[in-house]
Amino acid sequence: MNHIMLSNGSCANICDNSHFVNEEGKPAVSIIMFLAGVVGNFLALFILGVHQKKHRSGSSVFCILVTGLALTDLLGTCLLSPPVFISYAQNKSLVALGGDGMCQLFGFAMILFGLAPTLILCAMAVERCLAISHPYFYSVHIRRSFAKITLFTIYLFSLIFCLLPFLGFGRFRQYCPGTWCFIDMDARGEEHGSLMRAFSLTYSSLVALLILAVFVCNGSVIVSLCQMHRSQVTRRGSVMSTGRRKRMSLAGFGQGKKELDHLVLLAVITVIFVVCSLPLTIAGFINYIHPFCGDTANLTAFRFYAFNPIMDPWVFIIFRKSVFDHLCSLFTCRFSRGAVKTTAHCALSLPLDSHNQRNPADAQQNNMYSNLPV
């Protein structure tokens, strides 16, 4: 139980000023999330470093944004996790460890490292939409400096927005089990309660708009990639023999493989982002209308939200071209009906250089995808 039923039928959360970690708290979940986040983001940064060294021409706009996302997620994980571990180790809540100031700083960091990565993901979605759906505009107007300016603007906006509770527009409070603080989503009956709840509603609305923008942009890219892949398959079908097309289908390789790689990557990222972000956004709206009785639902929604920066680097790693091709070859070897016996045979890449020479438009279109480090 993490709430008390009042005489008027409303609830009062007992963790607001609690000095002990609620018995329902489980440190194992926090430890696993911390390790997965740190390892995943370090690996993503290592891969990006290798990619940049391999392509000496400099990082693309996409690479700069991905690097900013990984660094932001890593910094947030490293700053927010230690206080949680100390709370569990000493069985003391954040308020007990450092007073109300600790809770305020933790809540500030929580929304800062929640909002900034979401804005970066939105910027990445817009960048991909312009690069794939509007390549001419992208090549003329978008430069690497655009990514750096975008990151600076995102950090500045996030910092200013997250400082508003310190100026009286909104406030932070401790949530059960006493190991995290966040925006007070239920400030009814308090002085300036409407102003406090307005900040929570503003934050939820902003995140909801970002979710919609990411979904629309990535959906547009997925449609464009499907159209490109379909047109390339049609053109290749007129010059390739039926036997060769069948072998390429079994192996999972071909001239349109890059489009399929990015199609799968974008689809997975979009689904994970929506699934992880919606619960906390919905919780914010529900708390504004009719607050939850207790923090169990809020904690579940927050953990979903916290999974997004953990999953992002692992999706990026798993769906890198070399790793994804190997997984596809293993899957083809095990489950295809063809008489393929070994992974080496399945992973055999068929030479298509002659087709590139006959169809320079295809080669030029594929070069556009090589800028993305997957």
State pLDDT tens for residues 85-116: 888 888 888 888 888 888 899 989 988 988 89
Q: What is the dihedral of CA 297, 298, 304, 305, to 10 degrees?
A: 160
CB of 162 closer than 8 Å to CB of 115: yes
For 49, 106, 360, 361, the CA distances from 114, given in Å and listed in that order, are 25, 12, 44, 42
Q: Is 336 helix (H, G, I), strand (E, B) or coil?
A: coil
Q: What is the CATH number of domain 14-241+249-369?
A: 1.20.1070.10
Please determine, for residue 151, whether its predicted confidence score (pLDDT) is greater than 90. yes
Question: Can you tell me the distance from the alpha carbon of 186 to that of 193, in angstroms, rounded to the nearest whole number?
Answer: 8
Question: Can you tell me the distance from the alpha carbon of 10 to that of 37, in angstroms, rounded to the nearest whole number?
Answer: 38
State pLDDT tens for residues 55-74: 665 667 877 888 888 888 88
pTM greater than 0.85 (yes/no): no
Question: Can you tell me the distance from the alpha carbon of 120 to that of 151, in angstroms, rounded to the nearest whole number?
Answer: 7
Question: Can you tell me the distance from the alpha carbon of 72 to that of 280, in angstroms, rounded to the nearest whole number?
Answer: 20
Q: Is 351 helix (H, G, I), strand (E, B) or coil?
A: coil
Helix axes 193-237, 257-289, angle to 10 degrees: 160
Query: Which has the higher per-residue pLDDT, 26 or 45?
Result: 45
Pick from 108, 113, 302, 284: nearest CA to 204: 284
pLDDT at 80: 86
Question: Mean pLDDT over residues 283-311, rounded?
Answer: 77
Question: Mean pLDDT over residues 8-17, rounded?
Answer: 59
Please determine, for residue 269, whether its predicted confidence score (pLDDT) is greater than 80. no
CB of 80 closer than 8 Å to CB of 35: no
Question: Which one-letter DSSP state was computed for residue 269?
Answer: H
On the 0-12 / 13-18 / 19+ scale of CB atoms within 10 A, 332 is: buried
pLDDT at 155: 94
Query: Which has the higher per-residue pLDDT, 339 or 223?
Result: 223
Dmax of the chain from CA atoms? 81
pLDDT at 189: 53
As a whole number, the mean pLDDT across the chain is 72
Question: Can you tell me the distance from the alpha carbon of 239 to that of 141, in angstroms, rounded to the nearest whole number?
Answer: 37
Q: Is 175 helix (H, G, I), strand (E, B) or coil?
A: strand
For the chain, what percent of residues have pLDDT higher than 70?
65
Listed in sequence order, the residues at least 6 apart from 347 whose beta carbon sits closer than 8 Å to its beta carbon are 251, 325, 326, 329
Helix axes 94-133, 61-90, angle to 10 degrees: 160
Q: Is 183 helix (H, G, I), strand (E, B) or coil?
A: strand
Question: Can you tell me the distance from the alpha carbon of 17 to that of 178, in angstroms, rounded to the nearest whole number?
Answer: 9
Write down the domain spans for the chain. 14-241+249-369
pLDDT at 350: 34
Could you give the count of Cα atoms lying within 13 Å of 210 in the half-sphere of its Cβ? Answer: 22
